[in-house]
Amino acid sequence: MSGTDCGSARFVLSKGGIITNQQQHETLCRRLLDSPVIAAVKDDAGLDAALQSECGAVFLLYGSAAGVCTQVDKVRAAGKLAIVHIDLIDGLSGREAAVDALEALCHPDGLISTKPAVIRRARHLGLVTVQRAFLLDSMSVENLSAQLAVGKPDFLEVLPGIMPRIIARITASTDTPVIAGGLIQYKDEVMAAMGAGAAAVSTSSPAVWAM
């Protein structure tokens, strides 16, 4: 199977013909949820550990414009999805042009951002999109619907992920699959989030990756 570009959309060639960008996108979204625990990594040691784990996807929460492509290549070579948090990459601004540059240079499977406009651009490029939201107070919860309407992400990651009552409230109010992230360190916290309706959890804890 090989890739080719056609305008702004990417296509994958297979023996059976052409798999459209939309079909590939849907496949990647399903793969993200194949494993309910997503490895979130903040440094090289964490990345090395994640590559050895059973997690099917890796959230890259660190890096630089000069090195992020190498990180993406490592993750994909390990057979895992590489999802880059573009807001946390040194040298890349949180602008739509940065999304274009990241996609053109590195071809990550997906992108994370807190910015709806950035998410919208990534979605237009066919990337798996994860909109990250920090739930600091009731207003931040109430504003989620408006933010989702702008970005229309594939997934919503809410932090901290150890608030099952709030997660249940959010999952009941949106069709966007929810990922619970942040402060999750134990199996019972994973089970509580999933029981509240989360489609998956993201965590930097290797002990949770092994569950």
d(CA 108, CA 115): 18
Average pLDDT over residues 29-35: 94
Average pLDDT over residues 47-60: 98
Band (10; pLDDT cuts 50, 70, 90): very low
Residue extents of the structural domains in the chain:
34-209
Please give the pLDDT value at position 188: 96
pLDDT at 14 over 60: no
d(CA 156, CA 177): 6
Range 34-209: architecture per CATH = Alpha-Beta Barrel (3.20)
Condensed to tens digits (0 to 9), the pLDDT of residues 105-118 reads 999 999 999 999 99
Condensed to tens digits (0 to 9), the pLDDT of residues 168-208 reads 999 999 999 999 999 999 999 999 999 999 999 999 999 99
Of 12 and 198, more confident = 198
Please give the pLDDT value at position 7: 33
**Bridge pairing between strands 155-159 and 200-203:** unpaired
d(CA 148, CA 155): 10
Task: Please give the C-alpha separations between residue 142 and each of 137, 174, 176, 201, in angstroms, as whole numbers.
Answer: 9, 12, 15, 22
Mean pLDDT of the chain, nearest integer: 91
pTM for the model stands at 0.90
Q: How far apart are the first and last CA of the chain?
A: 33
pLDDT at 16 over 70: no
Condensed to tens digits (0 to 9), the pLDDT of residues 64-103 reads 999 999 999 999 999 999 999 999 999 997 789 999 999 9
Task: Please give the C-alpha separations between residue 163 and each of 119, 135, 160, in angstroms, as whole numbers.
Answer: 25, 10, 7
Task: Please give the C-alpha separations between residue 30 and each of 61, 108, 199, 207, in angstroms, as whole numbers.
Answer: 22, 16, 11, 24
Please give the pLDDT value at position 21: 83
Q: Which of 39, 25, 101 is nearest to 75 (CA)?
A: 39
